[in-house]
Chains A and B, each alone.
Chain A
Amino acid sequence: MRYTEDPLFWRAGAIATTLFMSVVLAALTIDTLRQITPGGARVPSYDVINSSISYEYSPDRGEYVPAIGGEELLFGHRYTAGEAARLIAKGKLVIQSRACIDCHTFFGNGAYYAPDLTRAWLDPVWARYAGPKRADRMAKFLMDPFRLGARPMPNLNVQRDEAEAAVAYLKWMSAVDTNGFPDRFGAPGVQ
């Protein structure tokens, strides 16, 4: 019997391939987790919610990237690192408890029934409100939603403290470097 006709030959190949790929994935995972820890190279620390955030075209990278600017307080409050972390942790609980991801998408992941929330904080629908009004308008919308175009947002019994936490979460998330996704978001002439 030729060796290619022996199942054990193919079994050895399957084991070797699987082990090699698993080791490579483990190494990449360690490096990736280091880079996506809050405060790391790609994911901002939670107290970024005290700053202004925009999404600008980078000629060097050839894509849109989040830009962190000067102080721009959220709900008129300057959060310490600990307060910001607790607020955003609560925001994530709001998002999970209401299963937001089963209508919306986050970084493009989720359901496709409602708009992507990756840059919701920067969306022209909300960004037209100057200064502290933007966060307040978003919080009020979450508590008492109105219909936007073809999609009625349901009332999910969101309380004021929950709404503020969710808005803080969306502001923090808008500062994550997502390799240019979504492309041309809020570019001149795009509404």
Chain B
Amino acid sequence: MYRSQRLGLKYLGASVIMFGAMIAFGVLSSIYYIQPGFLVNIFNFNSAKIIHIDGLVIWLLMGFIGSVYWFVPQELEREVDGIGLAELLFWVFCAAVAIVVLVLIFVQYGGASQWSMWFINQGRKYVEAPRWAAIGIVVVAGVFAYNVIGTAVKAGKTTGILTVLIADLIPLLVLYLDAFPQLTNMSQDLFWWWWLVHLWVEATWEVLIGCIMAWTLIHMVGASRRVVESWLYVQVALVLGTGILGLGHHYFWIGTPRYWFAIGGVFSAFEPLPLLGMVVHAVYDAGSRHLQAANRPAFYWTLAEAFGNFLGAGVFGFMMTLPQINMYSHGTQWTASHGHFAFWGAYGCGVIAVLYLALEKSRGCDGIDGRAWKWSFALLNLGILGMAGALLVAGIDQAFFERAVGGSTWNAYLSMQGRPWFIESMWARFVFGLVFASGYAMLVYDLLAIGKSQRGAIPQPIATAGS
């Protein structure tokens, strides 16, 4: 096994830990909705929420980085360039994440000063991490880009998938620089903030996971590289062709001009197309293989990624994105419903598929099956469907009663939070959050057990390569 692949496994392991932290703080966040006054002035809702959503970003980023470190040496049949620096930065990254979490738990916030922005909390959703930590992420991402590009240069060759990945790393890194400015004008602040959030999540991350899933298909079921690469290019054309101007659906209400109604509405309507293409292809592949593969959990999580991406990001996103609907759905739990389902379907399932694939190879198994993965698969997906459903009911309730009827005043908002339908939805979200957490526990158990007790796996000698 290459050193880069060992590093990939470390990143994937760290990603699973951050996944757990995200779930823990997510369940904690859900309690505030059903117990008004919970931990007020001790550990306020916003602190729990920050660790929940930033944990989401970090576990997925670590999962992506780990996946790439796992696949790149196989793709180019050589060790990754600058692997020593990458290994060092893994520990720096982990230490930085730990410090940020501790600061967010024990310090929480500071005064109105640049000091707070640099060392405590930047107070911008998803990029709350203080600037010093954001610089750290830039350094890690820069070395990661250097590793990938440098290896291709040293190898003197590239492949279609790797070329797409390299092209994607540049905007991925450049867009993250938007995590630093502290703009006074909220309209401009949100305008640029959406460049980071939307163009990461609905453009560059989609391309990145597309590359990772392309490699997964090649290594998991021996898919034809020519077909996979053609599909990847079609995906890139559709994702970026619709997603770049799909950015407009975030520009309806932040002070920006009215032409974004038409641009955002039309291109958002097309955004599910590439995701639908993935589903069509997944159904075709699954049918042609009669739902059988040596690594069954990786295969099923890949299918879940295609369906989850289409339903969570595509259907749930489109459902609330036309301006005529968004006027009332925007900023309600409807958005949270879409967010939960989309992140899980588009990215979470894909990272778990790679985890199973990497563990199968690294632990010398010839295929994986058993009962534990089925339980975790069922509980995690049931949990997310339940949470997305409960939040959708709460959001629709808000859209009608708080927004359309109540006019969005503070009283309209506060009385909505006390309505039985809303409270019941929040309880349902909490319960399904616990179901999701139990699925996570089963996932961790299964990942630890693979290859160790021959439970559902056939150990084989590990092939070694590289240094």
Contact = CB atoms under 8 A, between A and B. Distances in A.
Interface of A: 5-7, 10-11, 13-14, 17-18, 21-22, 24-25, 28, 31-33, 35-38, 42-43, 85, 88-90, 92-103, 105-116, 118-120, 123-125, 147-152, 154-157, 159, 162, 165, 173, 176-187, 190-191
A163 to B, nearest CB: 10
B233 A11 contact: yes
A177 B253 CA distance: 8
B255 A42 contact: yes
B233 A7 contact: yes
Output the residue of A25, A125, A148 with the most chain B CB within 10 A: A25
A186 B190 CA distance: 25
B136 interface: no
A7 B230 contact: yes
Interface residues of B, number: 87
Contacts of B288: none
Contacts of B413: 114-116
A112 B45 contact: no
B125 A97 contact: no
Given A36-B256, A110-B125, A185-B407, A94 B112 contact: yes
B interface: dominant SS:
helix
A152 B40 contact: yes
Contact of A43 (B120, B240, B255): B255
Given A111-B46, A113-B49, A191 B36 contact: no
Nearest to A124: B409
A177 B251 CA distance: 12
Contacts of B122: 96
A18 B244 CA distance: 8
B41 A155 contact: yes
Given A109-B125, A109-B254, A13 B233 contact: yes
Contacts of B191: 32-33, 36
A5 B230 contact: yes
A95 to B, nearest CB: 7
B418 A101 contact: no
Given A18-B236, A35-B256, A162-B111, A103 B418 contact: no
A42 B257 contact: yes
Contacts of B259: 28
Contacts of A185: 407-409
Interface in B318-346: 327-328, 330-333, 335-336
Contact of B263 (A28, A151, A159, A177): A28
Nearest to B242: A21
Nearest to A165: B112
Given A96-B121, A125-B409, 20 more contacts: A11-B160, A13-B234, A13-B237, A17-B241, A18-B240, A32-B256, A36-B254, A96-B116, A102-B123, A102-B125, A107-B190, A112-B331, A113-B49, A115-B409, A115-B413, A152-B36, A152-B40, A178-B253, A182-B403, A184-B404
